[in-house]
Amino acid sequence: MKIVALAGGVGGAKLAHGLAQILPPEDLTVIVNTGDDFEHLGMYICPDLDTVCYTLAGLANPETGWGRVNETWNTIANIEKLGGPAWFRLGDQDIATHLERTRRMKEGQSLSQTTKDFCGAWGIKQTVLPMSDSPVRTIVDTDEGELAFQEYFVHRHCEPRVKGFRFDGVQVAESAIGAREAIDSAQAIVICPSNPWVSVDPILRVIKKINKPVVAVSPIIGGQTVKGPAAKMYSELGIEPSALAVAEHYGNLLNGFVLDNVDKNLSDKIEARTLVTNTLMNNFSDRARLATDVLNFIRSL
C-alpha cells in the first residue's frame, strides 16, 4: 500500500519511522516541512528534515528526538567561548550535515537532491522529500512582534503569545520534484502527529491539492501535546486545545482521524471517520503498533 506521510519534527518522525517498519521501503514517501529551516552560523539548517532522516536511519538522539545519538558538543562550546551565538544547540556530528549541505547548495545542488544523497549515505531506503526546493520561512506573529520560527521556538522558548502565522515564500514555492507524483500514486496521505499550525499547514499550503484519502493523527492527547507548543498555540489563538480542535483545523480535508483512547468521548463530535487507539509513541514498538493501526484504518475507509 503506497503511503505519503506529511511530517514535521519529532512526533512526525516517530510515526514515519513506525510506517517504515511496516511498509516496503518503496511504498513510503515522507514529505517534510521546511518552514523551520534557517541560516545560522553561515550554515543552511533544516531541523525537521534532519530529524526525520536521523530517525529513519536510527541515528536520532533518543532523549531530545532531534539531533544525533552519541553526540559531542565541542564546536558549539567553543563558539560560545568566542562570544558567538550558542542558543541553537548544534552537535559536532550534526554540524557535519549542515556544513556538507551548505557546501552542496552553494554549488547549486537542490535541497531535494542533497536530501536524496544524504539518505543514501545514511542507508535510508524510503523516499524523503523536503516539501519544496524553494525557501519557505515560517514567521510567528506574537505579542512582541513578528519572530522568525527558530527565534520564537528555540531562542525565546515559545514564550511570546502567538497571534498568527505566515509562511514567507509559500505563494511562489512549488512542491519538490517527486512530491506530486508520490501523492498521485499513493493510496492515502497520512498527516503525522505534528503541529498543525507550523509543521503541517506549511506543507499543505505548498502541496495545494490532495486528491487522495487523508488520515490525520492527533498530536494533542487529553488537551496537551506530547512535545512542542501546539496546545499553547491553540489556547493563545482562542481555541480550546483538543483532538477535536485538530480535526476541525483540517476540516473537510480529512477522510479519517485518529485520536487517543483518553479522548474517546470526542469521537462522536468529529465529522470524519475516527479511529480511537493508543497514540502515544514511547518506544520503537509503539511506533510500529500505531502505524499498523493507521494502515488498517486506511484499509477500512
Interface with ligand FO1 (CB under 6 A): 8-10, 36, 47-48, 50-51, 66-67, 88-90, 94, 150, 153-154, 199
User: DSSP assignment of 55-108, as one string?
Assistant: HHHT-B-TTTSSSBTT---HHHHHHHHTT---SS---HHHHHHHHHHHHHHHTT
Residue nearest to ligand FO1 (CB): 9
User: In this complex, which beta carbon is closest to ligand FO1, that of residue 229 or of residue 256?
Assistant: 229
- Measured from the CB atom, is 40 or 116 closer to ligand FO1? 40
Q: Read off the C-alpha cell for 190.
A: 497520512
All 3 cell numbers of residue 86? 550558542
* Least distance in angstroms from the C-beta of 258 to ligand FO1: 20
Cβ at position 49, least distance to ligand FO1 in Å: 8
Nearer to ligand FO1, 95 or 186 (CB): 95
Min separation Cβ 137 and ligand FO1, Å: 12
Q: What is the smallest separation between the CB atom of 194 and ligand FO1, expressed in angstroms?
A: 7
CB atoms within 10 A of CB 25: 11
Decide: 216 and 246 in contact? Cβ < 8 Å.
Answer: yes
According to DSSP, residue 155 is labeled I
Residue 181: which residues within 8 A CB-CB, separation 6 or more? Answer: none
Q: Considering the complex, what minimum distance in angstroms separates the CB of residue 52 from ligand FO1?
A: 10
Largest Cα separation within the chain, whole Å, is: 58
Between residues 71 and 262, which has the closer beta carbon with respect to ligand FO1?
71
Which residue, 16 or 266, has its beta carbon nearer to ligand FO1?
16
What's at 55, amino acid-wise?
Answer: T
Number of helices (H), then strands (E), in the chain: 11, 14
Q: Smallest distance from the beta carbon of 169 to ligand FO1, in angstroms?
A: 17
Q: How far is the CB of 121 from ligand FO1 (least distance, A)?
A: 17
Q: Which is nearer to ligand FO1, 29 or 199 (CB)?
A: 199
Q: Kind of pairing, strands 214-217 and 256-260?
A: parallel
Least Cα distance to 128 among 199, 9, 31 occurs for: 31
Please say which residue, 228 or 256, places its beta carbon nearer to ligand FO1: 228
Return the residue matching grid coordinates 541560516.
39
